[in-house]
Chain A
Amino acid sequence: MKTSAEVVIIGGGINGCTIAYNLSKENIDAVLLEKGSLANGATGRCGGMIWSNQSGVELSKVAISSGERFAELEQELGADLEYELANALTLALPGEEEDFRKAIDLQKSLDVSIEWLEPDEIRKIAPYIDVDNIPVAGGYHVFDHPANASMNPFYAVEALAANARRLGAEIRVYTEVIDIKVENGKIENVLTTQGEIKTHIVVNAAGGWSSDVAQMAGMKIPTMPYPHSAAALITEPLEPLPYFPESSEIWGRQTKSGQIIAGRADYIAPETAPPTKKPGYNTRASLDYILHVSEIMQRYIPRLSNVNILRHWGGFFDVTPDALPIFGEVDELEGLILACGCSAHGFCFSQAMGKFITDLIVRREKSKIMESFNLRRFKREYREFPGRWFGGH
């Protein structure tokens, strides 16, 4: 292992690997440390989905710029990442129409090809969806837009890591960070289970473990691992469905191999969660979860009844109190850079975030939008997350 590096990245998920790749493209000497294997946390448990319909214009813009980068990745990295544009159909349940129309107007203002569909139109394009039984008040359809797509998260992480290595980065798996040494308000070195690395810049891309990593440098950050709807299940391959319907109850997509990956979308923010749903790293599968997702899938698409479920896994989000990511420098500690708190959208934002962190380290450039996600916002007044995910994402 190298004993010194310009930048040490902690976390081998999509964010860490993207930063490692982008930095090594700029000839920055970077070491990435991952305590397990690559994509060991939320990345390896996610749906690999990229969505422009985020809460608010800033986050939607972040997702769009990220999506544009995702679209270039396969060619740039020279690997098949199963990148596919989404042909998305998101259903509005009764009472959600107004929110949907607002979101559609916002997306249209950002040039996303999106349109509102009446229940009759949904019946026409997807007759296999049981519109009356769900019941559906309408929905929206997004098509041919780079920020509405999907990718195999394992392949993405692997290709980013391989290319970062090729360009000179050191990617170390099964290497856990034990401590970060700070002297006179500056990072001096990182202590791992495999030795010590001298560095003055640490990027915290540890996702669900990001608050633990920050703690090692003596910083408290308001991120926490949150289980619940971050779990998912996958079916056996089946013939392509033109659309897999999503809603505030369910998220999902059909992969290139024909399998449906799906999960519950009714995420509940930590502060509104019942006491049994405490933050934590519990990624055990739950029978309740698999039964409920099956019930929803069967109710939405009755013909899925005969399709087999192959496996189900647990997961967690890396959430913040306002459900917005934490990007950028920390005022109190020189050298610590945060790339975490993505609150269920880490995969989606990763490419925009990777560019931002690289611009910050290499050129000291700070985009205005990304700066609005700095940690310092929590010292002022911020809007607490109301507790429900809109539109299933």
Chain B
Amino acid sequence: MNREEATITCFCEDIAEEEIVQAIEEGYTTPKEIKQHLRAGMGECQGRGCMPQIMRLISQKTGKPQELILPPSVRPPIIPVPIGLLGKIVKRGDKEE
């Protein structure tokens, strides 16, 4: 694959459309498997940019209707949040239970 001409699908982890198509052809046919295999959607935007594209590609390559392709689990905090901001909310000794 010529990197210069490649279409980048996942900007955060720098993964090209060609790599995703290849993965689908190798049998990684769910968004979750593609995520685990290529790290697509595991970067800063947590797949908000690339997952719809990946789901479309899976539908195109496998013939499965797009509405039957489920996105991977959404993991909080959705957008990156600094540790300092979250850590300030609980006090020491303030146990979860």
Contacts and interface: CB of A to CB of B under 8 A. Distances in A.
A194 interface: no
Interface in A303-317: 304-313
B36 A309 contact: no
A321 B30 CA distance: 36
B5 interface: no
A276 interface: yes
B86 A294 contact: yes
B44 A291 contact: no
Contacts of B89: 291, 294-295
Contacts of A305: 82-84, 87
A311 B46 contact: yes
B97 A236 contact: no
Contact of A308 (B76, B82, B88): B82
A309 B77 contact: yes
Contact of B36 (A39, A289, A290, A307): A39
Given A299-B92, A311-B76, A312-B77, A304 B83 contact: yes
Interface in A118-174: 154, 158, 173
A90 to B, nearest CB: 20
Nearest to A276: B97
Contacts of B73: 313
A295 B90 contact: yes
Contacts of A375: none
Most buried by A among B44, B80, B84: B84
A276 B92 CA distance: 21
Interface string B66-93: 0000000101110011111011111110
B61 interface: no
B90 A306 contact: no
Contacts of A308: 44, 80-83
A192 B6 CA distance: 42
Main secondary structure of the interface of B (DSSP, over half): loop
Contacts of A290: 76-77, 86
**Residue among A277, A294, A296, A297 with the most chain B CB within 10 A?**
A294
B96 A236 contact: no
A4 interface: no
A298 interface: yes
Given A37-B36, A158-B36, A309 B96 contact: no
Nearest to A153: B36
Contact of B86 (A37, A276, A309, A311): A309
Interface in B19-69: 30, 32-33, 36-37, 42-44, 46
Contacts of A274: 97
Contacts of A309: 77, 80-83, 86
Given A291-B86, A306-B84, A311 B75 contact: yes
Given A294-B87, A299-B92, A306 B82 contact: yes
Given A37-B36, A274-B97, A310-B46, A298 B76 contact: no
B contact residues, range: 20 to 34
Chain A's interface size range is 35 or more
B83 A285 contact: no
Given A308-B82, A313-B73, A299 B36 contact: no
Contact of A236 (B30, B44, B86): B44
Contacts of A298: 83-84, 87-88
Nearest to A228: B96
Nearest to A262: B83
B36 A44 contact: yes
Contacts of A277: 97
Contacts of B75: 285, 311-313
A100 to B, nearest CB: 22
A292 B90 contact: yes
Contact of A235 (B33, B83, B91, B96): B83
A285 B96 contact: no
A67 B5 CA distance: 43
21 contacts: A37-B33, A154-B36, A236-B80, A289-B96, A291-B90, A292-B90, A292-B96, A295-B86, A295-B87, A295-B89, A296-B87, A298-B88, A299-B87, A299-B92, A304-B84, A306-B84, A309-B81, A309-B86, A310-B43, A311-B75, A313-B75
Interface of A: 37-39, 44, 154, 158, 173, 235-236, 274, 276-277, 285, 287-292, 294-299, 304-313
Closest 9 CB pairs of A and B: A305-B84, A308-B80, A311-B75, A298-B87, A294-B86, A294-B87, A295-B87, A154-B36, A291-B90
